[in-house]
Structure 1
Amino acid sequence: MTGPTSPPPRRRSALLRATTVVAAVVPLCAAGWLGWRALDDSAPAAATATPPGAVRSATTAPATPEAPPTGGTPTGTATPTETPAPAGTPSGAPAGTPSASPTAPPGGTADLTGRTVVLDPGHNPGNFSHPTEINRQVDIGNAHKECDTTGTETNSGYTEADYTLDVSRRARALLTARGAKVVLVQDGDRAWGPCVDERARAGADAHADVAVSVHGDGGPASGSGFHVIMPAKVVAGKADNSAIVEPSHRLGLLLRDHFHAATGEPYADYIADQGLDTRSDLGGLNLSAVPKVFIECGNMRNSADAGRMTDPQWRQQAAQGIADALTAFLTAH
C-alpha cells in the first residue's frame, strides 16, 4: 500500500501526474497536504484513533532541495554486511549517535527458525505507468480506496517505491540469517501494485506470524521524523481485524523503539504522538489476518530526512531496526 502521507507535487495518483501545478500553489501546501490523506492507503491521518476525514492535495511543492544521494542504486540489493554510519539525533542522545538498543535478544543470536515474516514494500516503481489499474477502487471493509498509489519521492527524484524495496530486501537478508522465512509482497517482479487488499491478504496466504509494511512519507517539507501506524479495530463489511489489534499494537511499540535506537531518527514532529499513530482507514491493516503495522521511515520531502534516506548506510540501519523489532516480537511469543 502506500507511504502514509501524500504527495507534494510528485506524490499523487497516476491519473493526476500530468497535471501537477508547482509554483502557483506554494501558499496552499499545508492545506493541500492535509487534504490528500484519504486518497492514499498509507497517507497519515490526524494523530488520533479515529479515521481521518480529509483528503490531501497532490500539489504541495517542495521547499528545500535535499542532499543528493550518497550512492547505491534506487532498488539495490540486500547488503547486511555494510557498516552503518549513524545518522539523526534521538532525543537525549548526542548528534549522530543512535540510542542504546531496547530490551530484545541480540539480532545475531536470535533463532527465528520456523517463523514466517511478510514484508510489504510500499507502492511499486511501475505504478506510474499503470494509472487505470492502480486507480481502481477496492473494498477495505469500511470504505473503498484506490488499489494503490504512486508514492512520494525526494526532491532529487529518489522514489518511495525504490526506497521501500531496498530497505525490505536488506531486512529480509537480516531476518533470513536469523533463520526466518521471509516473504516479500512484491520484489520488483510485478509491473504494478499489488492492490491494498491483496497486500493485506499476503500474511494469511503465507501463513505468516507477522507483517510490516515499509514506507517513506510525503509530508510538509518543514516536518521531519518517523512514525509507526497501528490498526484501529474495524468490524465492517469484509473487514474484521479484532484479533490482530492488540498484538499489532505490541509490535508497533517494539518497532518504534528499535527503529529509533538503530537509526537515531526522531519521532515525527508533524503527525502522530510520540512516533505512534492509530488508524482505521488503511486497507492493509483493516483486512490483515496477522499482526501488522506500517512504518513511515522518514519524510522524503524534508531535506534532512531525504539526505538520510538516500544514504545506503542509513538504509541498512533502517533495515536493522525493522529486523530487530520483528525478532523481539517473534521471540517473545
Structure 2
Amino acid sequence: MSYVGPDFDPPQPRRPRRRLLTVALAALVPGALLGWLVYEAVGGSDGGPDSPVGASSASGGLFTPAESPDESPTDDDKKPSPSATPSLTGPTSSAPAATGPLKGKVVVIDPGHNPNNFQHTADINRKVNIGTGWKECDTTGTSTNSGYTEAKFTLDVAHRLRTLLEKQGATVKLTQDGDRTFGPCIDERASIGNKADADAVVSIHADGAGAGQRGFHVILPGKVKAGSADTGPIVASSAELGERIAGNFVRVTGSAPSNYVGDGTGLVTRKDLGGLNLSTVPKVFIECGNMRDTKDAAQLTSGAWRQKAAQGISEGIVSFLRG
C-alpha cells in the first residue's frame, strides 16, 4: 500500500497490546526465533513519509552488492493480454478444481495497484465514496529505489499465493491480474470480494515508509457504520484472519513486525480504507515490508523470499478457514 493517497493515510490509533501475545505465540518456533535474531542484528530505525510513484515518488530500497535482487522472470511475471472490461467478479485461475481441506472455500486475493495505473492518472484520481468520505479510485503504488514496483511485487505474490491455496482445494479469484487498463477502483475491489461471497479476502501491498523503518504489518478493519459502509459484522472475523496471517508470516519468513506502526504487534486497525470499509466479508491488508528500506527491499525483490511470503499468508488463511 505504500503511498499517501486514496487508500493509505497516516496510521490510525494502534491496536491494544493484547494482540501482541497472539502474534508472539505463533512466532515462538525455532525458525522464527532465528529470524528475529537476524533481524535484531541488522535492523535499524529512522522515520520518513511515504508518497506515490509517478506523483511525488515513494518507497524503495537501495541494494548493496551483497543484496542484489532476484528479479529473474518466472511464469508468474508474464502479463496476460490487456482488457478494459473485466468481469466484476474478478479473474480466476483456469486450474482444475482440486480436493483438499479448503474444498468449497472461496478466497479473493487483491493485488494492490495495477502496473498500468501510471498511464491513467486522470482515471485513478477520480473520487469514489468509501462510506466515511471520498477517496481517489486508486494510486500507482510505490517502488524500490532501483525501480522494482509495488504493482509487480503484489502480482507476483498473488500468483504464488493462488497456487498454494488451489493446492489446498480453494477456489481463488483475483481482483486484477495485470489484465486491465487501470485499477480496479478501491470500491470495486471490495465489491469483487463481496459478490464472490468470499470466505476470506487478503489485499497484498508493500509499504513506502522511510529508510530504517522495517518489517511487515497487517491492517484490520475498524468498526465503521457510515453511508454504505458497515464493518460491524466483519470486525471480529477479520481480526482473527489478520492475527493468524501475522503469526504465520513471522514463523515462515522470519520477518519481524513493523518497528514503526502497530506497537510491535504487526497489527494495525484502520477506519479510512475503502477496501476494508466497504467489505461485507472477512478482509485484511498486509504490508509485506518497506520498499524504501535497503534490507527490506532486498527481501521484497527476492523470488525465494516472495515464495516464503506467499507461504506465510497461505498458512494463515488455511488456519483461519479451518478454524
Displacement after TM superposition at 1:56 (Å): 6.1
Q: Is the 8 A contact 2:258 2:266 kept in 1?
A: yes
1:65 and 2:65 equivalent? Answer: no
Quote the Cα distance in structure 1 between the aligned partners of 2:58 and 2:154. Answer: 22
Q: How many pairs are equivalent?
A: 265
What is the Cα deviation at residue 69 of structure 1?
A: 1.7
Distance 2:197 2:58 in 1: 42
Does the 8 Å contact 2:205/2:285 carry over to 1?
yes
Can you list the C-alpha shifts for 1:44-102, whole angstroms capped at 9, x where unaligned?
A: 514436xxxxx965557779622332232388359xxxxxxxxxxxxxxxxxxxxxxxx
Q: Distance in 2 between matches of 1:192 and 1:253?
A: 31
1:228-307 paired onto structure 2 within 5 Å = 228-273=218-263, 274-307=265-298
- TM-score normalized with structure 1 length: 0.75
Deviation, structure 1 residue 42: 3.5
Could you tell me which amino acid in structure 1 is paired with residue 204 of structure 2?
V
Of residues 123, 146, 162, the one that matches 1:172 is 162
Instruction: Give the alignment of 1:1-333 within 5 angstroms.
Output: 3=1, 5-6=2-3, 36=4, 39-43=5-9, 45-48=11-14, 59=56, 65-66=62-63, 67-73=67-73, 76-77=76-77, 111-273=101-263, 274-332=265-323
Distance, in Å, in 2 between the alignment partners of 1:320 and 1:63 is: 23
| Counterpart Cα distance in 2 of 1:325 and 1:276 | 14
In structure 2, C-alpha distance between the alignment counterparts of 1:44 and 1:178, rounded to whole Å: 36
The change in CA–CA distance for 1:44 and 1:225 in structure 2 (over 3 A counts) is farther
2: CA distance, partners of 1:149 / 1:42? 10
Shift of 1:270: 1.2
1:74 and 1:40 mapped to 2: Cα distance? 31
Counterpart of 1:174, as a letter, is L
Q: Contact 2:61–2:291 (CA<8 Å) still a contact in 1?
A: no
- CA distance change for structure 1 residues 75 and 164 in 2, over 3 Å: closer, same or farther? farther
The separation in 2 between residues aligned to 1:238 and 1:224, in whole angstroms, is 35
Deviation at 1:312, TM superposition (A): 0.3
Secondary structure of 1:118's counterpart equals strand
How far does residue 123 in structure 1 lie from its aligned partner after superposition? 0.2
Q: Secondary structure at the match of 1:76?
A: helix
Counterpart in the other structure of 2:38:
none
The amino acid of 2:129's aligned partner reads D
Q: Distance in 2 between matches of 1:40 and 1:311?
A: 28
1:88 matched to which residue of 2? none
TM-score (norm 2): 0.77
**Residue segments in structure 1 that go unaligned for 5+ positions in a row:** 7-35, 50-54, 79-108
Kept in 1, the 8 Å contact 2:244–2:316? The answer is yes
- Which whole-Å deviations, capped at 9, do the CAs of 1:208-261 have from their partners, x for residues lacking one? 111000000001112110000000011001111110011000111001001111
Distance in 2 (alpha carbons) for counterparts of 1:42 and 1:63: 17
For the residues of structure 2 that align with 1:183 and 1:145, how far apart are their CA atoms? 25
Q: Give the aligned CA root-mean-square deviation in angstroms.
A: 2.4
Give me the whole-angstrom Cα distance separating, in 1, the residues matched to 2:314 and 2:60: 33
Q: Which amino acid aligns with 1:283?
A: G
Counterpart of 2:318, as a letter, is T
**Counterpart secondary structure, 1:223:** coil
CA distance in 1, matches of 2:74, 2:211: 21
Equivalent AA in structure 2 for residue 145 of structure 1: K
Q: Percent identity?
A: 51
Answer yes or no: is the 8 Å Cα contact 2:59–2:290 preserved in 1: no
- For the residues of structure 2 that align with 1:149 and 1:172, how far apart are their CA atoms? 24
CA deviations on 1:4-46 (whole Å, 9 max, x unpaired) are: x32xxxxxxxxxxxxxxxxxxxxxxxxxxxxx3xx23135514
- In 2, Cα distance between the equivalents of 1:304 and 1:188? 27
Letter in 2 for 1:48: R
Per-residue CA deviations over 1:114-152 (Å, capped at 9, x if unaligned) read 000000000000000000100000000001111000000
Cα deviation code 1:191-214 (max 9, x no counterpart): 110000000111121121110000
